[in-house]
Amino acid sequence: MVARVQAVADAGETAPGGVRQAILEMARREIAEHGCSGASVRSIARAAEVDPRLVRHYYGSRENLLWNALSGDRDPLELAARLLRQSASTIGRRAAAAVFAPWEDPATADLQRARMAASLEGTEAVGRLESEFVSQLLGTIAASVSPDRPRLRAALAATHLTGATVCRYLAGGPLAEMDLGELVRSTGAALQRLLTGPLPEQG
Amino acid sequence: MVARVQAVADAGETAPGGVRQAILEMARREIAEHGCSGASVRSIARAAEVDPRLVRHYYGSRENLLWNALSGDRDPLELAARLLRQSASTIGRRAAAAVFAPWEDPATADLQRARMAASLEGTEAVGRLESEFVSQLLGTIAASVSPDRPRLRAALAATHLTGATVCRYLAGGPLAEMDLGELVRSTGAALQRLLTGPLPEQG
């Protein structure tokens, strides 16, 4: 990766899009490994083997760089609308598959890891993106398919999906070795119950 | 906290247990905030406002210091045995309450956060403690109460509990504001289903 960044950087102004993309990729890796608080313009420039001034030239402030690195290309409301076009009886499984897909794809896994790391920090202005994504996605779905208490159901479904993501992609352990199809079935069944099944009695 | 550590450190050899405990507390805070990879003897000594040589005097290697800071006082197998002494029909709720309790207690919350941070790093020798705790606890319970596939059920229950813990104590959002009793009921009901209810069909 570093060699690729260097090659692109050497090409200079002939491939500014390439350098910009490479800086974003390195920013995601730095955030994934050290959190937003540990990802400085200097550390990102060092990882990308470019001058920090080039990073500032393209992205301005550190805050703006981190925001760009963490911004996803998926709109949770649009994804929810797409999932709601099919039967509500299988939405748990389809939502689980849609959330795991970008984690399983090497081209987008670093973005997911960076967003999760920012979310787990819980304090930064650019944080909470991953949890907001999941909450918005499942909040929209729950508002449509849940018989009662959709906000509670969305929060519990987001909880389960967050746990599955953390256990499979961050913490290792049994979920990391599980067949993806089985993970989608198990997680999807749990989501389906949390979104549409009986809730424990209140009180 | 820093003032307290300083006061204890000033007392020197008259209160070595106090200094040692204070160093452990600062180590937990450093690990919780920066992960094991960001918690150096130097940074821990600085946080505790003591000489790094004092840290090495008490704990020897950095690895040993981190291990001591992350070691819990609860044995998951002993806790599982205690929970299994009561009815299997309420074990989900009681297991959830037992896992959340040390997170809710300010005296032990930093230890929990440090163990979770180490676990999320996924690579360190001292990591995975939190996930191992949950897996061992739920693995022992599932082996006793589950009708079939106890290892899968324990992994899924651990997933849900990890998600609830991350969402309530790390990422913020709706679960952070939820009443603890309601969280225990909701999470307990999900655990009960994952441990003893029907599994999605294989295929």
Q: Which domains does chain B have, with CATH numbers?
A: 2-70 (1.10.10.60), 76-196 (1.10.357.10)
CB of A188 within 8 Å of a chain B CB? The answer is: yes
CA dist., res. A76 & res. A132, Å (int): 9
CA dist., res. A199 & res. B94, Å (int): 17
Q: What digits encode the pLDDT tens for the residues A185-196?
A: 999 999 999 999
Q: Quick one: pLDDT at residue A173?
A: 76
Residues of A in contact with B158 (CB under 8 A): 163, 167, 173-174
ipTM (interface pTM): 0.75
**Which residue, A130, A123, A101, A142, is CA-closest to A32?**
A130
Closest approach of B2 to chain A, Cα-based (Å): 22
Quick check: A171 and B120 CB within 8 A? Answer: yes
Q: Quick one: pLDDT at residue A8?
A: 47
Residue A89 has pLDDT above 50, yes or no: yes
Q: Quick one: pLDDT at residue B134?
A: 82
CA dist., res. B136 & res. B152, Å (int): 13
Spatial neighbors of A132 by CB under 8 A, at least 6 apart, are A76, A119, B173
CA dist., res. A155 & res. B182, Å (int): 12
Confidence of residue A34 (pLDDT cuts 50, 70, 90): confident
Interface mutation target, options A119, A132, A161, A167, chain B, most CBs of B under 10 Å:
A167
CA dist., res. B163 & res. A135, Å (int): 13
Q: What digits encode the pLDDT tens for the residues B10-67?
A: 544 445 678 898 999 999 999 988 888 889 999 999 999 999 999 999 999 998 999 8
Torsions phi, psi for B173 (to 5 deg): 95, -165
More confident of the two residues A92 and A74? A92
What residues 43-82 of chain A have any CB closer than 8 A to a CB of chain B? Answer: none
Residue A14 has pLDDT above 50, yes or no: no
CB of A152 within 8 Å of a chain B CB? The answer is: yes
Is residue A159 within 8 A of residue B178, CB to CB? The reply is no
Tokens found for residue B61: 């290697």
Residues in chain B, pLDDT under 50:
1-5, 8-9, 11-14
Nearest by CB: A120 against B154, B170, B190:
B170
Residues of A in contact with B119 (CB under 8 A): 171
Q: Quick one: pLDDT at residue A123?
A: 60
CB of B167 within 8 Å of a chain A CB? The answer is: yes
Residues of B in contact with A182 (CB under 8 A): 202
What residue type is A41 in one-letter code? V
Residue A94 has pLDDT above 80, yes or no: yes
Q: Quick one: pLDDT at residue A12?
A: 47
Q: Quick one: pLDDT at residue A4?
A: 47
Tokens found for residue B126: 């001292």
Closest approach of A48 to chain B, Cα-based (Å): 21
Q: Quick one: pLDDT at residue A122?
A: 67
Residue A118 has pLDDT above 50, yes or no: yes
